């Protein structure tokens, strides 16, 4: 006999940023209907919330849905129960990655490189971020990716939409890192770097 296992819901409430908010979900599906990429998701946000309550840990943490949020906030403004759906999805993505799940590899790498660059410089250098993203899977793949996107790089350069100077760290970078380290420790569920 199978029955619902509440332990995963408890794990989400305690460790996932905004995780406790899903208690308010009444399964109406407005989030799913509002989401621009829900048709690409294996489970809609509504289903993800239901599955958390049903204890489907593996399915939720390896679901592509938690990594496909475009951050458009449609779900958050429309939820009749005030659930910040987007924030829960981001929290789940962060938690899944911390637990070693990689639901959408490219998006995960892009996001992690984005954050690494903020930690390193305090700012984003778009050309450097693209390079790191393209080369994250090794040199050969990096060359392939770069060639594939080369036309765009050239276009941006020719239209003065590429910062040419390398980005230097902001003056307060050391203090910024101390703040971010502290925040990482203090975060929900112990936080820590991914």
Partner 1 sequence: MKYFLYWGCSLEGSGANFLVSLKPVFETLGVEWEEIKDWNCCGASISYAGANDLAIKVLNARNLAIAEMSGGYDIIAPCSSCYIQMVKVNHEIQEDPELLAKVNEALSEGGLKYNGGVKVRHVLDVLYHDIGVEKIKEKVVKPLKGLKVAGYVGCQSVRPYGEYDSVERPVSHDIVIEALGAEAVEFPKKMRCCGSGIFLPEMEYCFHLVKDILEDALNHGAQLISTVCPMCAMNLEVYQSRINKALGTNFDVPIVYLTQLMAVAFGGDLKHDAALHYNVIPPEQIIQSALE
Binders of partner 1 among residues 11 to 70 (CB under 8 A) are 17-18, 36-37, 40, 67-70
CA distance 153 to 127: 8
Task: Using the rule CB under 8 A, give the single segment among 1-9, 20-28, 45-53, 155-163 that binds partner 1.
Answer: 155-163
Alpha helices, DSSP H, located in the chain? 7-15, 30-34, 45-53, 57-61, 74-78, 85-98, 105-121, 126-134, 139-158, 173-186
Place of tokens 């892009």: 110
**Please, which of residues 111-150 interact with partner 1 by CB under 8 A?**
111-116, 118-119, 122-127, 130, 133
CA distances to 26, 74, 75, 142, 190 from 120, rounded to whole Å, are: 42, 32, 33, 21, 22
CA distance 133 to 155: 19
Out of 53, 59, 135, 180, name the contact with partner 1 by CB under 8 A. Answer: 180
Task: Please identify, using beta-carbon distances, which residue of 3 and 161 lies nearer to partner 1.
Answer: 161
Task: Please identify, using beta-carbon distances, which residue of 46 and 90 lies nearer to partner 1.
Answer: 90
Token representation of residue 81: 């129960």
For the bound state, the minimum distance from the C-beta of residue 17 to partner 1, rounded and expressed in Å, comes to 4
- Report phi then psi at 68, rounded to 5: -105, 20
Out of 53, 73, 81, 135, name the contact with partner 1 by CB under 8 A. Answer: 73
Half-sphere exposure of 8 toward its Cβ, with a 13 Å CA cutoff?
19
Task: Please identify, using beta-carbon distances, which residue of 31 and 54 lies nearer to partner 1.
Answer: 31
Count of residues interacting with partner 1 (CB under 8 A): 72
Out of 50, 81, 137, 176, name the contact with partner 1 by CB under 8 A. Answer: 176
**Please, which of residues 87-116 interact with partner 1 by CB under 8 A?**
87, 90-91, 93-94, 97, 104, 106-116
Task: Please identify, using beta-carbon distances, which residue of 147 and 179 lies nearer to partner 1.
Answer: 179
């Amino acid at each position: 006999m199978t029955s619902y296992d509440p332990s995963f819901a408890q794990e989400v409430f305690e460790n996932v940023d905004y995780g406790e908010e899903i208690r308010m979900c009444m399964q109406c599906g407005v989030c799913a209907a509002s989401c621009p990429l829900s048709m690409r998701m294996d489970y809609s946000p509504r289903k993800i919330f239901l599955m958390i309550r049903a204890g489907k840990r593996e399915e939720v943490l390896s679901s592509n849905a938690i990594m496909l949020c475009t951050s458009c906030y449609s779900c958050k403004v429309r939820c009749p129960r005030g659930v910040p759906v987007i924030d829960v999805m981001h929290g789940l993505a962060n938690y899944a990655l911390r637990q070693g799940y990689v639901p959408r590899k490219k998006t995960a790498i892009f996001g992690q490189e984005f954050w690494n660059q903020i930690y390193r410089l305090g700012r984003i250098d778009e050309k450097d971020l693209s390079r790191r993203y393209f080369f994250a899977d090794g040199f050969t793949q990096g060359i392939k990716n770069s060639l594939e996107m080369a036309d765009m790089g050239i276009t941006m350069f020719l239209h003065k939409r590429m910062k040419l100077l390398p980005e230097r760290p902001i003056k307060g970078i050391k203090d910024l890192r101390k703040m971010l380290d502290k925040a990482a420790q203090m975060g929900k569920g112990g936080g820590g770097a991914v």
